[in-house]
Structure 1
Amino acid sequence: MLNDDANRYITLRRTLGYKLVKAERHLHAFARFATERNETHVRATSVLAWLATVARTPGARERRLTDLILFARFLHAEDPLHEIPRADVARSRHGRPIPYIYTPSEITRILDAAGKARRYRNDRLRRPLYVMLFGLIAATGLRVSEALALRLDDIQPGGVLHIRETKFRKSRLVPLHVTVIEALERYLDVRSQHAGESDWLFPSVEHRKLCPTTVNNMFRSILRRAGIALERHPRPRIHDLRHTFATRALEQCGAQRGMVARHFVALSTYLGHADIRNTYWYLEATPEMMADIASAAEMLVGESAV
C-alpha cells in the first residue's frame, strides 16, 4: 500500500517539475521496510528504525528524512493516521556549506592557470576548453552539469544559450554578454580543429561528454596552480563560481524596494531556480550585501513608523 502511495506522490510532484530520482529510491526502500513490518501507514518509529539501517552518515540520514517528511505530510493530509516524523531527529550539525566568493582577480588567475595547464600530445583542446568552460560558468552562473551538457546546437543566434531540461526539468534561455560571445567564437574556431565530429560543446579526449570528476580534478589542480585559498577548508569549488556570479549580481541591485524585487525575479529566472527562496540564500554571501540590506530595512522601518 505504501508503495502505491509512493508512486502517486512521485507522479504528482514530477508534474510540478521535480525529478526526485533519489527520493523515489528512498521512498520505495522505506515502503518495503514498512511492509515487512506489516505496516500500512507511515510510523515515526519505523522511519527512525529504517534510517538506522540504511544511512551511515548524518548527511545521508538528513536527506532521507527530508524525503520521508514531505511524503508523510502528503499522506497525512489524506489520512491523519500517517505520522509525520520530527525534522530534528536526524539533523546534521553541519549546515549548508559556506560558499567561497571569488574576487575578480582570482577569476582572472583561474583562467590564466587554465590556459597554462599541462598539455597532452593527443589533447590540443585541453587548455582552451577549460578556459572557456570555467569562464562561461563564471560569466553566466551556469551549473557545472548544465555547462557540460551543452551541445553545439544549444548555441542560439544572437549569443543565447539554450539550457535544456536540467534541474527540476526546467529549460531556459541564457543571453550572453558581448565579451562572452566573442570568447565563445574564438573557442569554437579552435574547437573545430580538434573535436572531430563530436557535437558536445566541451568534448572529452574521446569526443564524448566530459566527465564531471575529470573537470573537478582539473579545477582543484588549477586552484593550486593559481594559489587561491590554499589554507581554506573545505576547498573552494567550481560551483562557487555560480555563487560568485549570483552574489555580484545582487550587489548591484541597490536598496530600492522595487529594484530589489525586479533584480531577484530576474536573477532567479536566469539561474534556473525553481523557488525564489533559493535565490534569497545568496544574500548571506558577503558582508557588503548584508550591510546594504540592513540599511534598506532601517529605511523601511522608518517609513512605516511615519
Structure 2
Amino acid sequence: MKESVTVEIFIIGNEILNGEIQDTNTYWLSKEITAMGGHVSRGTVLRDDLDCIATELRAAMDRGARVIFTSGGLGPTADDLTLAAVAKCVRKELRLDTKAQQMIKESYDALFDKGILAQGGLTPAREKMAWLPQDSIPLYNSVGTAPCSLLHAEQAVFISLPGIPKELKGIFNSSLQPFLQETFRGGISVMHTITVCCNDESLLEPVLTRVVPAHPDVYIKSLATMPGETPELDITLTAVGSDRASLVSLIGLALQDLTKGFSDLGFVCRNKYTKGFDQL
C-alpha cells in the first residue's frame, strides 16, 4: 500500500487567536487533503511573530512533514510575516520575484479597471507581496492579489496560501492543482484554465453535467462565486498520468467540448492559464 503523504497546516494571524475571526481554513484544507489520500498530522494556529513562526515550521520539518501549508500573512502590511518566516526557517533569502510582481500588478490593474480600487499598479506595499523565499514558485491567485508561494526545501514542500478563505480555495482549486495531483495521486500533471463570460454558474450546469462524465480522466472544476458577484467564472481542467502528450490531448478534447457547449449557450470563453503544455 502506498504510504500517505504527511501534511501539517499552520494558520497564522493575531486576529484568529484574539477571537476576532474564526478559523475555517484548517477544516476545509483537512477535508480536501484527506479526500486526496493525504494524512494531516497536525494543525496549529500561530501569532504574527517571525521567530515563533519560523521555529514552528522547522519543528514540522523535523517531525517529517512532507507538505507544510501556511495560511495568512502574505499581505502588504508590516505584520504580514509568513514568507519571511519560511525563508528564515529554511535559511534562504527573500528575493523580489518578477513573475509574482507581474501577477500582483495585473491583479491591481484589473481591480482599478473595474472601478473597485482608486489606484492600479504597484506601490512599495503591494510589491512587498512579491518578495518570496529564494527558489520559490509563485502561483496565480485568480480571486485576490497575493500569489501563493510554493517552495521545495530539503524533504518538505512549503505552500503559503492567503488567509482569506475565498482566495485560499480559489488557488487550491486552480493553480495549485497540478502540484496536488502529482503529490497525492502520483505521476505528472497538466492544467488549463479558461474564463467564461458568465456570472451565474447554474447557467453553465447543463454543459458541465454532460461534459464532466464524458471525460472521466480529466478533473474539471468550476470556481463558483455568488451569482452576480463577478461578470466571469473560471473553470480548470487537470489531468494526471505518465505521458504528458496524452494528458494534453485529454485536456484538449475536454476543452473542445466545454467551449463548444458554452458557445452554443451564447457564452464567450478565453484561455487564462496553462501549466505543463510548454514542456512537450
TM-score range, shorter chain: under 0.3
Give me the TM-score of the superposition, normalised by structure 1.
Answer: 0.21
Name the structure where helix makes up a greater proportion of residues.
1
Give me the TM-score of the superposition, normalised by structure 2.
Answer: 0.22
Name the structure where strand makes up a greater proportion of residues.
2
